[in-house]
Structure 1
Amino acid sequence: MNTGSAGTVALAVVPDPRVGTTLWEMYELAIAATVFGIPHPDLADPWYELRLCGDGDPGGVLSLRTTHGLDGLVDADTVIVPSVPDAVVEDGEEVPARLVEALRAAAASGARMVSLCTGAFALAAAGLLDGRRATAHWQHTAQLAARHPDVVVDDSVLYTDEGSVLTSAGATAALDLCLHLVRKDLGATVAGQLARRLVVPAHRAGGQAQFIEAPVPPRDDDGLGDVLQWAAERLAEPLTVEDLARRARMSPRTFHRRLQETCGTTPLQWLLQQRVARAQTLLESTDLPVEQIGGRSGLGTAANLRRHFLRTVGVSPSDYRRAFRPSGPPSRDR
């Protein structure tokens, strides 16, 4: 069990003053509340402390009771803006000034700033995305880029991680980013176990495409589920695209196309993601030297492991092991 402190997560609730909180705006809010607000003491103790912060809800389709005012964002470890009202995105209305002020204060105090879907418009209004790569749901990225030309908008990815500022596309990509945050805070093992409880894929990398023809995990009857499970059990072996295609009884070109359509990634990218994830688990759960972890994960030499691990995870294997074995990182000092 990971016993590191996960810190305080503050969700900024931004209802539309005309119609209140809508069902669609509740979606990303509910995702974040589910991931960070339901304790899992068997996985990490303490879990996150969740706050719902806002200026009150005028009612509408749903009424929310916030636990804190917007000042509750300022001293949080992580601040998440799940969405903004449709009027901000579609009609060009301004993000509430008090929210902008609170977001700037939270960022200045060292909080990690996160947006889900249209929440990127709030971070952009606060100037927190200027010069940074960011995303939102592909239906709204054109408006985001037009209104905030200093933001490097990428409409093709599930989420972006700029260190202290992270953004995601909408719908299930919001869940991908929330699990990514858990992975950064508490490690791949905890994130993987939580994903299994939520019955979702353990890890979809942020660079995967937003728009894929079948945005669901492969089914057993689509010709991919069995072969991907087969490959996941043999990551230490020198697998090639030809090996996977032969197992799936497809040509390499057809296998490449089918995996791209189904998972939004190429066979080689999928293998790399799985091997890095395996290395993360081994670093957390074993005392094996880096050389052996490179072999068992299929990444080869220690140098190759370090190169891919640093590029994908953002830290070296040794730094990752220090952070997540035996305990996770402390919350931000104040």
Structure 2
Amino acid sequence: MSRAIYACKAEFSSDAKRSAGNVVKRIGIVLYDGFSLTATGTMIEALHMANELQESVDRKGLTYNVCLISARGGMVTCSSSVCVFTERLDAQCLHDFDAIYVAGGAGATRASEDDRLIHLLKVAASQGIAINALGNGHELLTTAGLIFSNWSFLERDASAKDASRPQADRSDALVHSLALLKRDIGYDIAASVAERLVFNNDQHVSSILSKLGTPTVAEKARESARWLERNCGNPVSMIDAARLAAMSERNFWRLFKREIGLTPSQYLLRARLQLSCQLLTSSELPIDKIARRTGLSNGERMSKLFRKQFSMSPTEYRARNRGVSASQPEYVDVS
């Protein structure tokens, strides 16, 4: 029995190209019976996350408006028998889209025989709209006589072209999504999205991002900073951090300090103190346990650092800030 999903586009609903100073980019995803829900869902999730990340840092940039479309509109059934509601694609509304992605899936070959859909793709291309394919969605673009991929540099093995492999579908859609984000918004947002969406059995984040172009020094520094934040509760070697950035330890220290404003060691200590503050105000964990969980070794060292940073002990900090968000405690130079 089929299940139905009606696409919810709460934050993607505006048709305007500009809203409150924010540029809106409309992305259409072409669906058909037998499309891959995995790939489609991955792209939607990635763009939605990019919108949220920009809001979280109060960046007035670009918002993605995602629209699910099909040749005739209405309900379309994916390869796993889930029904999704789509809007009708017609020649008059094509100019509303900044880019169109054709979903892959087990039904791609049959969909390539749909004359109306193939005609609409040709019209879209003639209007200069960027068209890309997710997975084996390139079959439709080939039928339309279009160059189906500007990502030919991406290495794809035979399994990646197999529409019956959800993991391959997901990886392909993720790469396309990250490429779009890197070009439109920047490497830092693309990297943040990748860190949240890449599963343990996916390719490593740096491996995926490396296929999208060489990051700048500033991008490497920001990526390294995020790595230090994620690993601040563990024993961290600056040699490992430099190796991940593909730099010598000396160059890593110098460039990190220039781009971030702190040395890697200072940044790591700040991350550990911030995590400690969060645990002090949101949990009843003993000081010694918090110190161990945040990489500060023990309660005695943590107490010394708190007195130097905040002129109070961890216990006093907990009492003063109980119930108050401590995600961004005031930080002073510890050098």
TM-score per shorter chain, which class?
Answer: 0.3 to 0.5
Larger radius of gyration: 2
Kindly indicate whether structure 1 or structure 2 has the higher relative contact order, using CA contacts under 8 Å at least 6 residues apart.
1
Of Structure 1 and Structure 2, which has the larger fraction of its residues in helix? Answer: 2
What is the TM-score normalised by the length of structure 1?
Answer: 0.47
